Amino acid sequence: MVRYIAYRSLVAIFLVWVVVTLVFLLLHLIPGDPAELLLSQGSIAPDPQAVAALREKMGLNAPLWQQYLDHLGGLLSGDLGASFRDGAPVIEQIATRLPRTLEVIFTAALLASLAGVPLGTWAAIRAGGKADGFVSLLASAALSTPVFVVGSVVILIFAQQLKWLPAGGFVPFSEDPVQHLKLLILPAGTVALSLWAVITRMTRASVLEVLERDHVRTARAKGLGRNTILRRHVVRNALIPVLTVLGLEMGTLIGGTVLVEFVFNWPGLSGYLVAAVDARDYPEVVGIVMTISVLFVFLNLVVDVVNAALDPRISLVTP
C-alpha cells in the first residue's frame, strides 16, 4: 500500500510537470509575440512602446529555457506572480477564492452521491422495468441540459417565481451562517444535478455488473439477508468504479464551475478565471490554470488511493 501510494504520487508529480510545461508552451510557442497578442484589441495594432514595456515586465527578452526555469522556480516557491490589473499577488486571490469553489463542489458531490447511489442501485435491481426506464430518462435529460441553463431556469423558478431563495450572491459563513447556506443551496444543487445523473448511471451499470458475479450467489448461499447482501456484497463492490468517476468529475468541475459561479454570482476561483481571461491578465490566468490543474491531478491521486483501499487487489498492479 505504501509503495503504491508512493508510486501514484510520483506519477502525479510527473503529470503536474506535464501540465505546467504544456501551459508554458501554449503561451510561449504560439506564433506571434504574446505581449503583442495580449495587448491587441481586435485588429488595432498595439502601441510598440507598450509592447516593449510588457515584454520586459513578462521577462520575454530572456532565452526561452531561462524563462522556463524561472517559471518553474517561481511555481516551486509558491510565487505565481502579480496581477497585471492591480499588481496584487495572484496567490492571495486564489487562497481566498478557492475554498469557496471547493465548497460548492463538495456540497454538490455530497448531494449527488446521497441521491445517485440509492437511485442507481434501485434502478439496477429493476433493470428493464418501467421504473428503471424513468430513472434513465431523467438522468439523460439532466446530463443533456447545460449547467448554465439549469442555473438560469432554477433562478427563474425558485428565486423569481416562488421567491424561496435568493437568486445569487455570497456572504461569508462567519458573517451570516444562515444566509451563507441559503446562498449555497442553488449553485450546489445546480452542480449536483448533472453530477447526480453521472453517479446514477454509473451506479446502475456497476451494480448490474456486480449482481452477475459469482460472489453474490455465494452470499445468497450463505443465507445472508437481502439488505446485507445488497450493502456488503453488491453496493460495496459496485462503488469502486463509481468513486473513480466521481473523482474525475469533481476534478473537471474545479475548472468547470465557471458557468455556475457566473450564473449565481458566486465569487469563486472560476469566476476569477473568466475575469482574468476577459482582461487577458496573463499571470492571473496562468496562476489559476496551474492551481486547478494541480488540484485536478491531486484529486485523481486521492481517487486512486481510495480505490486501492476499497479494492485490495489494486495495489498489486504497481509495476
3-class SS of residue 41: strand
Q: Cα separation of 108 and 181, whole Å?
A: 13
Instruction: Write the DSSP symbol of residue 47.
Output: P
Nearer to another protein, 159 or 185 (CB): 159
Residue 68 vs 173, nearer CB to another protein: 68
Q: Whose Cβ is closer to another protein: residue 103's or residue 311's?
A: 311
Ranges within 83-102 binding another protein (CB under 8 A): none
Q: Which amino acid is at 319?
A: P
Nearest CA to 240 out of 274, 202, 185, 184 is that of: 202
Only one of the segments 27-35, 67-75, 77-85, 101-109 lies at the binding site for another protein (rule: CB under 8 A); that segment is 27-35
H helices present in 126-265, as ranges: 130-144, 147-154, 177-211, 214-221, 226-228, 236-256, 258-264
According to CB under 8 A, which residues from 242 to 271 bind another protein?
A: 251-252, 254-256, 258-259, 262-263
Phi, psi at 82, each rounded to 5°: -115, 150
Q: Which of residues 155-194 bind another protein (CB under 8 A)?
A: 155-156, 160-161
Tell me how far apart the alpha carbons of residues 31 and 144 are, in angstroms, rounded to a whole number.
37
Out of 6, 30, 53, 64, the residue judged to bind another protein by CB under 8 A: 30
Give the one residue of 45, 53, 64, 141 binding another protein; rule: CB under 8 A.
Answer: 141
Residue type, 67: Q
Residue 140 engages another protein in binding (rule: CB under 8 A):
yes
Q: Binder to another protein among 98, 243, 273, 301 (CB under 8 A)?
A: 273
* Among the listed residues 5, 11, 23, 245, the single contact to another protein using CB under 8 A: 23
128 binds another protein (CB under 8 A): yes
> Residue 206: exposed, middle, or buried by beta-carbon count in 10 A (0-12, 13-18, 19+)?
buried
Report in angstroms how near the CB of residue 38 gets to another protein at its nearest: 9
Site string for another protein, 204-243 (x = CB under 8 A): ----x--xxxxx-xxxxxxxxxx-xxx-xx--xx--x---
**CB of 60 or CB of 125, closer to another protein:** 125
120's grid cell: 442507481
Select from 11, 115, 165, 274 the one that contacts another protein (CB under 8 A): 274
Least distance in Å: CB of 176 to another protein? 25
Neighbouring CB atoms inside 10 A of 136's CB total 17
Please list, in sequence order, all residues whose beta carbon lies within 8 angstroms of the beta carbon of residue 46, skipping any fewer than 6 positions away.
36, 39, 40
Least gap, CB of 248 to another protein (angstroms): 10
Q: Does the footprint of another protein cover residue 37 (CB under 8 A)?
A: yes
Looking at the DSSP assignment, which residues form a beta bridge with residue 82? 89
Distance of CA 92 to the CA centre of its chain: 21
| 243 close to 303: Cβ distance less than 8 angstroms | yes
Touching another protein, residues 278-317 (CB under 8 A):
278, 280, 285, 289, 292-293, 296-297, 310-313, 316
